[in-house]
Chain A
């Protein structure tokens, strides 16, 4: 079972709102990811959590705040977003996220995504 579950599927929020996107996986994976995808573009990496610690932040604005409460859950807290932040937000997971001189072969599994519209 390679399932990553994301909620909500659709979210409309105003620029002054605070909302959260949620992601859950039960595959025993220890790495979880947030990607942002604009229409007709490939996904862009935002954050990587490895063993519940933030491993990568791709210079994402602070109005996006990730949280990893445990190894199965990943949240993305949203505050004071801009209309240009409207996009599909994809959560993903993999067994591990490695750095250094280690040959890998990690497979990343994606969720269905959360469509975010900022008005």
Chain B
């Protein structure tokens, strides 16, 4: 079964500093990987996704993520955070379908990002 681990429950970063949020997945084949962001009281917004091709993907709001197959990771990065980036970040994996599978997303438990002035 597929699984997603976000090892950091809560991260605090100073405004203007760089950010890296970790995501590790477990899956038997090449997964499809997503990062979503959820601001307080809001729904989930898609930041970026990886399906195939270039392992460094660019997303909205200046975020990027790198797929590393050897490390089963898909870490999210931003060179300089803004106070508006404070939110909950979810990594998710979608399956390469098998005869017995279906297209359900598996979410990590989330990382809460706090920005300090």
Contacts and interface: CB of A to CB of B under 8 A. Distances in A.
Interface of A: 2, 4, 6, 40-43, 45, 48, 55-56, 88, 90, 92, 96-113, 115
A2 B102 CA distance: 23
21 contacts: A40-B110, A40-B112, A42-B109, A42-B110, A43-B107, A45-B105, A90-B43, A90-B44, A98-B102, A99-B103, A103-B97, A104-B94, A104-B97, A105-B94, A106-B32, A106-B103, A107-B49, A108-B34, A109-B46, A110-B45, A113-B43
A90 B110 CA distance: 16
Interface residues of B, number: 29
Q: Is the interface of B mostly helix, strand, loop or mixed?
A: loop
Nearest to A45: B104
Interface string B34-45: 101000011111
B102 A110 contact: no
Contacts of A40: 110, 112
B109 A41 contact: yes
